[in-house]
Structure 1
Amino acid sequence: MLKAVGQVLFSSGLQHPTFTPVEAKASDYEVRTYHDTKWVSTSLSGMQWDEAMSTGFRRLFSYIQGNNQNKVKVEMTAPVSCRVDPGPGPACETQFTVSFYIPEEHQASPPEPSDPQVFVEHRKEFAAYVRTYGGFSNEKMKREELQKLMVSLQRDGAPYRDDPYYAAGYDSPFKLTNRKNEVWLLKKEVQE
């Protein structure tokens, strides 16, 4: 019980996906290679990033609370990631994919979701540029931090993909200080 309360209040002790840090050219972002992993995900279409995150989080939280084929509870992990695939125009719907990393003990055989809107996603190894920032993140902050990351990458001549892009949050809404948020842009491979 104390461990669970501590995790909610301080977000400590949560499992994270493994990655290998790569030396960056600057101090305002990191380069990481994320290893091959499985995530539980849900996709939504809409116009509002924060609304999609909230709806997606609720679906995935239900899954880890036992709404899965095995009826097993799955430990909370960090971060909660949101892949954003922008629509073709300014007034077009965006595709949001909200995901929880599946803990190590379930990586080989994740419980199958009961909700048809939830699925297990196998993410192949990928490289990302990562910018970290604090505070209670919202849609405006995510967009500003993504813009800052793009400016830094352009400054350094680092090849990146414009879309999709990701936001990642590491903390419970009850954690008040030392909050950790990230935005990720995928590294563009030379052959792309």
Structure 2
Amino acid sequence: MIKSFKQTFLSLELQSPKWSAGETEVQDYDLRHYETAKWASTVIKGETQKEVLRQGFWKLFHYIQGKNEREMKIGMTVPVTCLVKSGCPDFKVSFFVPFKHQHSPLQPTDPDVFIEEQKRGAIFVRSFGGFASPEKYAEEAQLLARILKNTGQSFHEDFYYTAGYDSPFKLFNRHNEVWYFKKRVVFG
């Protein structure tokens, strides 16, 4: 398993969800319009986000390594996301389902892993480098929230996502993100 873990994460051509750039006039964040996509997810309750991410990652990694209805290996994708809700001890960790399986994802055999569809939406994204800790993600999320408020953006403040793109074996030029979903404007 360790060999396949390393091989999976040393690949440089990992698939990620499709998005297009939105118009922003601020250099501190991007606005992306993500297409509807399916994700493999698990909800983990824990005391620390670091432990939750580790547990959630391994549940999902086992799914892509064959713990699914067809016992088939599925390619690793990026990012690995984690939903963080204010005051909630539950965290949702997710892997993007590869394009080959988007139409008909392989069903997990672990009852704690499920397939969900994330509807298309606009997401404010702040990128940063280095090894990201839960504290660093929280700091970047707070900074992004402050910037969005100062620029008059309307967004869902009660939750954010962390997004990690790199293998733990990658030492330099690491890429991490925090995401806030833009609120839809309702007319009428």
Q: TM-score, normalised by structure 2?
A: 0.92
Is the 1:60–1:118 contact (alpha carbons within 8 Å) kept by the matching residues of 2?
A: yes
The answer to whether the aligner puts 1:123 opposite 2:118 as a matched pair is: yes
Q: CA deviation at 1:33?
A: 1.1
RMSD: 1.6
2:162 corresponds in structure 1 to 167
Match 2:131 to one of 127, 136, 140: 136
The amino acid that maps onto 2:141 is L
In 2, Cα distance between the equivalents of 1:65 and 1:21? 32
2:9 corresponds in structure 1 to 8
Q: CA deviation at 1:152?
A: 1.1
Q: CA deviation at 1:46?
A: 2.5
The amino acid that maps onto 1:20 is S
Q: Map residues 58-77 of structure 1 onto 2, 5 A cutoff.
A: 58-77=58-77
1:180 corresponds in structure 2 to 175
Q: CA deviation at 1:70?
A: 0.8
Q: CA deviation at 1:85?
A: 2.2
Q: CA deviation at 1:127?
A: 1.0
Q: CA deviation at 1:45?
A: 1.8
Q: TM-score, normalised by structure 1?
A: 0.90
In 2, Cα distance between the equivalents of 1:8 and 1:76? 8
In 1, Cα distance between the equivalents of 2:108 and 2:156? 31
1:21 corresponds in structure 2 to 21
Secondary structure at the counterpart of residue 61 of structure 1: helix
2:81 corresponds in structure 1 to 81
Secondary structure at the counterpart of residue 95 of structure 2: strand
Unaligned ranges ≥5, structure 1: 88-92
Aligned structure 1 segments of 4 or more residues deviating by more than 6 angstroms: none
After alignment, is 149-158 or 132-141 more displaced? 149-158
> In the comparison of the two structures, how many residue pairs are matched?
183
In 2, Cα distance between the equivalents of 1:37 and 1:183? 19
In 2, Cα distance between the equivalents of 1:5 and 1:72? 18
In 1, Cα distance between the equivalents of 2:139 and 2:86? 16
1:110 corresponds in structure 2 to 105
The amino acid that maps onto 1:61 is F
1:90 corresponds in structure 2 to none
Secondary structure at the counterpart of residue 68 of structure 1: coil
In 1, Cα distance between the equivalents of 2:28 and 2:68? 40
Secondary structure at the counterpart of residue 78 of structure 1: coil
Q: CA deviation at 1:7?
A: 5.8
CA, structure 1 residues 103+78, in 2 after alignment: closer, same or farther (shift >3 Å)?
Answer: same
The amino acid that maps onto 1:63 is Y
1:148 corresponds in structure 2 to 143
Is the 1:19–1:34 contact (alpha carbons within 8 Å) kept by the matching residues of 2?
A: yes
Q: CA deviation at 1:191?
A: 2.7
The amino acid that maps onto 1:153 is L
2:50 corresponds in structure 1 to 50
In 2, Cα distance between the equivalents of 1:45 and 1:130? 25
